[in-house]
Amino acid sequence: MASCGSKISDPSRCTKAVEQSSKKVFLQLHFQARMDETVPPLTTKEAKNFEDRFQELVVGDSKRVITKSTKSEQYSGWKNLVQNGYMAMRPVVPESLTKEVNKLNQSGAASWTAAYDSSFVKVSVAKGKSKLGFIMSKEEEEQMKNHTLSMVQEDMKQFTEEELSKAAFSEEFDVRENWPECKPVTTHVRYQTCNNCWSHSTALITESRLCIQTHGKFNGPQAWLSQSFIAACRTDGHDYCLGGSGLLGFRTVSRWGVPTGGPDYRGNMQAGVQTCYPQVQPHDTQVRCPGACSPYTRYPRPLSQDLFYVQYEPRPLHPVGSQVPYMVQKALMTEGPILLGMRIYQDFYAYQSGIYKPVRKSWNLYMGGHAVTGMGFGPGYILAINSWSESWGIRGAFHVAPDAIDFGYFLPGRPLGAMGGNPYPMPLPNWR
């Protein structure tokens, strides 16, 4: 990569030199990636957008590199910039990837279909990763394994021989259909704007279980709980948009409670809907745990009177073990939705229908961990709700193979009632 030196007398000349160098480097990296089969074939438009994103990134970050004090540091900086930039600016869903999935589906080698959207052309891998946010450390995974072993020994005593005689996930069950009075709540689908999927799932699980536990009293168009409050008031003290574990949301709700909050960051979702703390705008920075309802909502009830104190007893289950599916199945059927932690690959973004399981190809890049909401099951699959809007998948939902839930299952436990014995504050009547 060309260097302009540490003192730039003509910035425009330096920018032009970096642009020319970045173009050459891109072609070299792309040629090597195609030879190694770490990148699938791209259309002309995909390749052009990819190159433009790469060049914009390199030029934008070049000033940070060229001001390093030594040539050795500059070289190391350039190397990291172009290599990381190439990986980050790749298209998240190339058309060839969707064709490969559908080809495998037709041959019987894949159990799901993919859809290509022309808008994917401008979406990079880096942007795609901002739709994730599930984190689990090695230490947490080991603790989860040990906890699961002790739980299995105790919980399996509750199952009858008849229950264990049937294979888990062999019949269909849908939380939304099993509690029809709660369908206005359990069918909620949110739109995630940064790496806090765990809070979106927690909000859907909590509002759904509140409806189930109150026999449909927590219901109606106002019955949304605030995902933004959960993410802003997280008990680990980290940033609103950072990833979190499968238990973080449940611990946050149990400690601080959660107010009502519509999912639309522009305000409340539709005319007449009023909630306390709706989803914050995606460009908001330094979001802090609020001490009052959002001022622009004109919500008539103070935050302190709008909090739902749900006391969870969360239980993590490691996915390995023949008895675990029975425990997951029973939790869904008797309590309501649960949180699922899974590894996400590029092909997931193109999911259209069928039972998802990642395609094992060298260019199907691992993207990161993701939290979704388990809402039921069927023969060979778990029904889950994503937080990428209703335009994705099956109106925001998807079917996933149990062995693709590779981080684990997180069972909230039954809500044990309001703190201090007070009744839950019900959503306000719809304003018209």
| Neighbouring residues of 305: CB distance < 8 A, sequence distance ≥ 6 | 425
Tokens of 13: 């000349």
Measured CA to CA, the distance from residue 166 to residue 418 in angstroms comes to: 37
Q: Which CATH architecture has domain 138-421?
A: Alpha-Beta Complex (3.90)
Rounded to two decimals, the pTM is: 0.90
Residue 233: half-sphere exposure toward Cβ, Cα within 13 Å? 24
Q: How far apart are the first and last CA of the chain?
A: 62
Neighbours of 187 (CB within 10 A): 17
Phi, psi dihedral angles at 327 (to 5 degrees): -70, -40
CA distance 197 to 128: 13
DSSP 200-243: HHHHHHHHHHHHHHTTT-S-STT--B-HHHHHHT-TT---TTS-
Residues 6+ apart with CB under 8 A from 75: none
For the stretch 185-224, pLDDT in tens is: 999 999 998 999 999 999 999 999 999 998 999 998 889 9
75 vs 173: CA distance, rounded Å? 58
Residue 54, SS3 per DSSP? helix
* Cβ neighbours around 126 below 10 Å, total: 16
Tokens of 313: 């007893």
CB 269 within 8 A of CB 184: no
At 102, list the tokens.
């559908």
- Asked if 74 contacts 65 with a C-beta cutoff of 8 angstroms, the reply is yes
**Furthest C-alpha separation in the chain:** 81
Q: How far is CA 260 from CA 69, 240, 352, 393, 428, in A?
A: 53, 18, 31, 27, 10
Q: What pLDDT sits at residue 270?
A: 60
Contact 50, 89 (CB under 8 A): yes
Closest alpha carbon to 275 in 298, 309, 304: 298
H/E element, 332: helix 324-334
Could you state, in order of their start, the residue ranges of all structural domains in the chain? 1-90, 138-421
Tokens 């279909």 found at: 113
Name residues of the chain where pLDDT drops below 50.
Answer: 6-9, 267-268, 418-422, 431-432
**Residue entry with tokens 């092909």:** 347
CA 293/CA 229 separation, integer angstroms: 10
Three-state SS for 7? coil
| Adjacent-strand bridge partners of 260 | 225
Q: What is the distance between the alpha carbons of residues 18 and 34, in angstroms, rounded to a whole number?
A: 24
